[in-house]
Amino acid sequence: MAIFLYNDEEIGRIRESCALAAHVLDEIDRIIDVGVTTYELDRFARDIIAKHRARPAFLGYKGFTAALCTSINEVVVHGIPSKSARLKSGDIVGIDVGVFLDGYYGDTARSFAIGAISKEARQLMDVTRASLYAGIDRCVVGNRISDVSHAIEAYVVQYGFLPVREFVGHGIGRSLHEEPPIPNHGKPGRGPRIKNGMVLAIEPMINVGTYLVDVDQKDGWTVYTKDRKLSAHFEHTVAVVNGRAEILTKGNNFS
């Protein structure tokens, strides 16, 4: 499969989609709290996206039934919003949102702390977020995709955490998932060269314990850590412009 290289006009349109995705998470940050259900967050996100004449990228994707992925504590990714999933103090919840606006996609994720969380949970969130920027810093023309991957892994293992191996970042633009895949682990100096015009969704998924995961056999989506220890998830969509990565999904509370 080919890796698409987008021109300035196309990147501008992707930037608009990404800005909307970031706006959704900024608005969720205002209301997310103890007692809120993930179903309520999903409906809130749908309303925002609809008001901007866009559509949720995840809703209906391969049968997924929601606009958001809401992944609580030991859920790594792809948690399905539910009326019964009421947030409690001490939870951490990864929220992933994608939007489709005027022919192009934007995708971003953040992990949120609910009430007072443990020191371990706080460190996991901080390290996961920092690893995202470590990866983005290596997203430079002439480097290879695995240089991004290696930077993420090298950062988190210093703290005793491990990146998930089974799920990866990806290219994005006219489609939600494009080439190349972007693992969060691996040796440097491998894979495609990074070029101007690439648009990439970089998304470390980092676990307290093992990197191994289980997929819920009933819903076919929810991904748990195999040892049921905590996981965190952060994601930015970036465009490679003038030799370096420009973050397209910056938000008011997540630069």
> 251 falls in which pLDDT band (50, 70, 90)?
confident
Establish if 1 belongs to a structural domain: no
Q: In angstroms, rounded to a whole number, what is the distance separating the alpha carbons of residues 240 and 200?
A: 8
- CATH code of the domain containing 123: 3.90.230.10
Establish if 2 belongs to a structural domain: no
pLDDT at 253: 65
- How many C-beta neighbours within 10 Å does residue 192 have? 13
Identify whether the C-beta of residue 242 lies closer than 8 Å to the C-beta of residue 196.
yes
Average pLDDT over residues 75-95: 98
Cα of 132 vs its chain's centroid, Å: 10
Q: How many domains does the chain have?
A: 1
- How many C-beta neighbours within 10 Å does residue 2 have? 8
Establish if 218 belongs to a structural domain: yes
Residue with the larger pLDDT of the pair 181 and 252? 181
Q: In angstroms, rounded to a whole number, what is the distance separating the alpha carbons of residues 24 and 30?
A: 10
Establish if 177 belongs to a structural domain: yes
Averaged pLDDT of the chain: 97
pLDDT at 1: 72
**DSSP, res 217:** T
Tell me which residue of 177, 108, 187 sits closest to 145, measured CA to CA: 187
Q: In angstroms, rounded to a whole number, what is the distance separating the alpha carbons of residues 208 and 101?
A: 36
The string of DSSP codes covering 234-254 is -BEEEEEETTEEEES--BTTB
> 254 falls in which pLDDT band (50, 70, 90)?
low
Establish if 255 belongs to a structural domain: no
What is the domain range of residue 195?
8-247
For the chain, where are the alpha helices, taking DSSP H only? 8-31, 38-51, 119-137, 145-157
Q: In angstroms, rounded to a whole number, what is the distance separating the alpha carbons of residues 192 and 184?
A: 15
Tell me which residue of 146, 158, 242 sits closest to 206, measured CA to CA: 158
**In the beta sheet, which residues pair with residue 95?**
70, 110
Establish if 254 belongs to a structural domain: no
pLDDT tens for residues 13-72? 999 999 999 999 999 999 999 999 999 999 999 999 999 999 999 999 999 999 999 999
**Tokens matching residue 59:** 């809703």
Q: For the whole prediction, is pTM greater than 0.85?
A: yes
Contacts of 150 by beta carbon, 8 Å cutoff, 6+ apart: 138, 185, 186, 187, 188
**In the beta sheet, which residues pair with residue 193?**
144
- pLDDT value at 141 more than 90: yes
Helix (H, G, I), strand (E, B) or coil at 62: helix
pLDDT at 26: 98
Sign of the CA dihedral running 8, 9, 14, 16: positive
Burial (0-12, 13-18, 19+ Cβ within 10 Å), 218? exposed
Establish if 59 belongs to a structural domain: yes
Establish if 208 belongs to a structural domain: yes
Tell me which residue of 54, 97, 105, 56 sits closest to 79, measured CA to CA: 97
Helix (H, G, I), strand (E, B) or coil at 136: helix
- At 83, the amino acid letter reads K
